[in-house]
């Protein structure tokens, strides 16, 4: 860790996101996670994973650094059974020690989505009560969090930094500047199992009602919220106060 970062960490202070980003802009994913761990400490650092089609690569890098870093998994109530099974497979394969499955508030679901049709009438509201609000609660004890977004995914992700401000926390994007081929190389070298739905044409997997197969000539995330202007669930567009 850079001396300045070590000094601030010792004093309980997190460095400004822009300053941290400059230091880590060319770092490897493992170096980014090591720096996050060194500054925030394990008890104040979480990795948020969907256990989707590319999730195993980031989880593998994290496990090599420290498999006891808490992992937050948002179990929305609309996930594919294959995703839930994949979560269990990766936990066992990588030796993850602290995976926390977070569910929506049941009273909120009864009040706002009693008929389970909100995904169709108002997908933003559905994501809010099933993903954004649960994650805000889950991140309460943490000073920083890690996620798996990449610039090559395009859209709002095309220019993400390695480190960014997320309200009262730092958000780390260890794979921000990696290429798709590097992700595949991690899978190959570590012999990581693919998501069960990947072979069926699901290149990006979210909730069942809002995920479709993707053709070879499409962006990997084209199958998310197909036919709508929506491209993000909200956990990366809303500050996690």
Answer whether residue 232 is part of any domain: no
Answer whether residue 239 is part of any domain: no
Provide the domain limits for residue 138: 3-223
What confidence category does residue 114 fall into, taking pLDDT thresholds of 50, 70 and 90?
very high
What's the pLDDT at 241?
A: 64
Answer whether residue 231 is part of any domain: no
pLDDT tens by residue, 181-208:
999 999 999 999 999 999 999 989 999 9
| Structural domain total, the chain | 1
Answer whether residue 120 is part of any domain: yes
What confidence category does residue 13 fall into, taking pLDDT thresholds of 50, 70 and 90?
low
Count of alpha carbons within 13 angstroms of residue 237, beta-carbon side: 12
Answer whether residue 106 is part of any domain: yes
What's the pLDDT at 153?
A: 84
pLDDT tens by residue, 42-65:
999 999 999 999 999 999 999 999
Q: What share of the chain is helix, strand, coil (3-state, %, to 5)?
A: 45, 10, 45
Residue 9 pLDDT > 50: no
Answer whether residue 233 is part of any domain: no
- Among 160, 161, 169, smallest CA distance to 139 is for 169
Q: What does the alpha-carbon distance between residue 235 and residue 241 come to, in Å, rounded to a whole number? A: 11
Structure tokens belonging to residue 49: 């994973």
Q: Which of 127, 207, 210, 233 is catalytic?
A: 233
Q: Which residue has the tokens 């995703």?
A: 83
Residue 8 pLDDT > 60: no
Residue 24 pLDDT > 90: yes
pLDDT tens by residue, 145-169:
999 999 888 788 888 999 999 888 9
Torsion 157-159-163-165 (CA) sign: negative
Has 126 been annotated as catalytic?
A: no
Answer whether residue 234 is part of any domain: no
Query: pTM to 2 decimals?
Result: 0.91
pLDDT tens by residue, 86-95:
999 999 999 9
On the 0-12 / 13-18 / 19+ scale of CB atoms within 10 A, 232 is: middle
Residue 3 pLDDT > 80: no
Q: What does the alpha-carbon distance between residue 61 and residue 33 come to, in Å, rounded to a whole number? A: 8
What confidence category does residue 10 fall into, taking pLDDT thresholds of 50, 70 and 90?
very low
Which CATH number goes with the domain that contains 89?
Answer: 3.40.50.620
Q: What does the alpha-carbon distance between residue 173 and residue 179 come to, in Å, rounded to a whole number? A: 13
Give the residue-averaged pLDDT of 68-73. 98
Answer whether residue 134 is part of any domain: yes
């Amino acid at each position: 860790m850079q001396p300045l970062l070590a000094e601030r960490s010792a004093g309980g202070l997190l460095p400004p996101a822009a300053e941290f980003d400059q230091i880590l802009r060319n770092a490897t994913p493992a170096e980014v996670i090591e720096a996050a761990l060194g500054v925030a400490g394990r008890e104040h650092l979480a990795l948020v994973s969907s256990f989707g089609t590319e999730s195993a690569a980031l989880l593998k890098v994290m496990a090599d650094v420290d498999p006891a870093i808490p992992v937050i998994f948002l179990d929305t109530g609309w996930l594919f059974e294959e995703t839930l099974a994949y979560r269990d497979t990766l936990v066992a394969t990588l030796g993850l020690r602290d995976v926390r499955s977070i569910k929506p508030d049941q009273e909120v679901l009864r009040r706002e989505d009693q008929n389970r049709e909100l995904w169709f009438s108002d997908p933003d509201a559905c994501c809010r009560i099933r993903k954004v609000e649960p994650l805000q609660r889950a991140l309460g004890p943490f000073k920083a969090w890690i996620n798996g977004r990449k610039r090559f995914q395009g859209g709002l992700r095309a220019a993400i930094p390695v480190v960014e401000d997320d309200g009262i926390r730092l958000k780390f994007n260890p794979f921000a500047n990696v290429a798709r081929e590097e992700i595949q190389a991690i899978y190959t070298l570590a012999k990581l199992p693919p998501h069960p739905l990947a072979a069926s044409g699901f290149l990006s997997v979210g909730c069942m009602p809002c995920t479709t197969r993707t053709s070879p000539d499409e962006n990997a995330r084209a199958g998310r919220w197909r036919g709508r202007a929506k491209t993000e669930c909200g956990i990366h567009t809303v500050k996690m106060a």
